[in-house]
Amino acid sequence: MKILRFIKFFGFQALILSGLNGCAAGPVPVSGAQTQLSPAQMDRVGRRIWQNECGGTVAGLTSWNSGEDFASLGIGHFIWYPQGRSGPFAESFPPLLAFLNARGIATPAWARGACPWPTKAAFEADKNGERQQELRALLGRTVRQQTEFIIARMEAALPKMLAQSRNPTNVQWSFEGLKQTPEGCFCLIDYVNFKGEGTSSKERHQGQGWGLLQVLEDMPREKTVWQMPGAFAEAAKRVLSRRVANAPPERKEQRWLAGWHNRCDGYKRAL
């Protein structure tokens, strides 16, 4: 399925780039082609993201994780901040609702604004309330559209990553090579949802990021397209290990590392 029509939602009229010096050499051609997945592959991508983020449960579609000051909603645990809150992570739930509205899907009027639950305690107390039930029903029937939203975000990330990269040739090379297989597409789609684009200056520990940009910069270029998902998985584990090593001790990020590595190892499996 071509995703270009969704990219315009993010303000990009085209994603085909003119190419960078050095991209023509090596085993992976840089085509600039749009992501194409069959309907069945799209459904598998959505289910795997849902499993990764929510354990594949309907209850997990409305969550508020311990130690966080925002709600996490939908198959991608899209972030929604309460009134007056902000943080280092980009808010993604309001853009998802706007995306659904643009597709002709009605969303609750009360959800057009800040998250109405000010704290995790308030959120959990209302877990079975009318508003969260309404959200779970909406999110449970729009898995395909949420998957398309994540893919659109992944496609739209490339120009921003190239503009910031220390090694844009390698970033575009790796990005385009991964897109040539369904498994490689899943690496890009899931990781940008998992740890972001890596372009925000706020998402840094000791000046080093952990998003998709940093993983693509860390990948070797000698792999064939069929080897690239495995190379991506190993690069992602290195980047996440570096994040934990650089994190302030009080965050205790080591507790998450095994689970993060396990998720990355999943990129080596067939879609």
Count the domains in the chain.
1
pLDDT tens, the chain, 271 aa long? 444 444 344 443 333 233 333 333 334 444 455 667 888 999 999 999 999 999 999 999 999 998 889 999 999 999 999 998 887 788 999 999 999 999 999 999 999 999 999 999 999 999 999 999 999 999 999 999 999 999 998 999 999 999 999 999 999 999 999 999 999 999 999 999 899 999 988 899 999 999 999 999 999 987 789 999 999 999 999 999 999 999 999 989 999 999 999 999 999 999 8
Concatenating the DSSP letter of every residue in 145-190 gives HHHHHHHHHHHHHHHHHHHH-S-HHHHHHHHHHHTTSHHHHHHHHH
- Give 168's contacts (C-beta < 8 A, 6+ positions apart): 20, 161, 162
Query: Which domain does 219 fall in, by range?
Result: 4-268
Distance CA 115, CA 14 (A): 33
Given a contact cutoff of 8 angstroms between Cβ atoms, the answer to whether 229 and 187 are in contact is yes
Residue 11 has a CB neighbour count (10 Å cut-off) of 7
Helix (H) or strand (E) holding 41: helix 39-54
pTM of the model: 0.78
**Burial of 93 by CB count in 10 Å (0-12 exposed, 13-18 middle, 19+ buried)?**
buried
Q: What is the DSSP letter of 268?
A: G
**Overall size of the chain counted in residues:** 271
Beta strands, E only, 3-141 = 62-63, 71-73, 78-80
Pairing of strands 78-80, 71-73: antiparallel
Pairing of strands 62-63, 71-73: antiparallel
